[in-house]
A = this chain, B = another copy of it.
Amino acid sequence: MSPQVTSTPFDQTTPGPELPGLVARYRNSVEAALYRSVPESKGDDLFFPIRYHLGWVDQDGAPTESSLTHGKALRPTLCLFACEALGADPARALPAAAALELIHNFSLIHDDIQDQDVERRHQPTLWHLLGIPRALVAGNGLQSVGDLAILNVAGGDVPPETALRVSQILTESYLEMIQGQCLDLDFESKTDIAAGEYLQMIAYKTGALIRSGLEIGALLATDDQIAIQAFSRFGSGIGRAFQIRDDFLGIWGDQATTGKPRGNDIRRRKKTFPLVFALENARGKSREELLRIYGQEELTDTDVENVLTILETVGAQKQSRSITETSAQEALAALKPIALPAWAQNEAESLVDFLAHREF
């Protein structure tokens, strides 16, 4: 039985949900804030790679039609949403929203070096185009641009104490992200990762920046600690739902919507949740086969098919969906203690539905 014809209560037989309306509503202002944050190229070879990675220019420096924020722009959207949902003008969170997207992108530049990935968004990755030294430096430059952007939160009616706190929250969460990257590197050589350890790793690596974005957005709207904590916990749930859905799509996603072949993460030997779950739960010959396959440097098509079958046998697909659903419900439950306006409650539900059920 092949995984994609499995029938479970979690199956999506219709196409996945669209990008939530909020993403489109905030897109222009996020894009403008990003443009304001990144200095114009001055011929010193730092800002061209940054603008290329952000999708603003092509390899020859010519402006492109498509751009970063034509994507999900998840982190800035969540930050602005928290701010607006708590009754403040989301514009005051724009520098923070831009900083989140910039720092997320900085981490992608370095991730591509680490993973030796040669393509991102259908373009050569920065290190593949310019070599490791330039990509490394451009990533660091992008992080600094993000650090400068967040300092611009101060001003208007945002007091400097709040701006400092925002900067601290962002930096602390970024350090957690790095701790997650370290754990992830450890996992590469391990085959006995407990599912709980994996969930802790992604809470750092993916969750921290999503959570801090919501916390920052809330903090810029209110000093009500209950509301800030509610959005922070909302972020923890969202982060997990988002990453486990990402792991799901990395294996069972449709190439037409994800742009990547089925089983892609298996072929790349990524230890994502379904595989960690299988390594923890497979017994006997299945377990031996998994260990044999992941003991190799490269996987054949047959290996990939065999892994897909084992994942199916141990219920890894079902378990991935189940964790995504539970995390999505936890995210929404976290918002219960605060009385959001109806529009914000609806948007929160749309966001969670999208993140948990998206096909791309």
Residues of A near any B CB (own CB < 8 A): 44-46, 110, 113-114, 132-134, 136-137, 140-141, 143-145, 147-148, 151, 154, 159-161, 163-164, 167-168, 171-172, 174-175, 178-179, 181-183, 185-186
Contact = CB atoms under 8 A, between A and B. Distances in A.
A87 B219 CA distance: 37
B114 A183 contact: no
A45 B185 contact: yes
Contacts of A167: 147, 151, 164, 167
A163 to B, nearest CB: 6
A181 B144 contact: no
A134 B171 contact: no
A208 B144 CA distance: 14
B132 A182 contact: no
Contact of A185 (B134, B161, B179): B134
A144 B45 contact: no
Nearest to A115: B133
Nearest to A167: B151
Nearest to A160: B160
A156 to B, nearest CB: 14
A181 B138 CA distance: 10
Closest A-B pairs by Cβ, 10 of them: A160-B160, A114-B133, A144-B175, A45-B182, A46-B182, A141-B178, A160-B161, A147-B171, A137-B181, A46-B179
Nearest to A204: B44
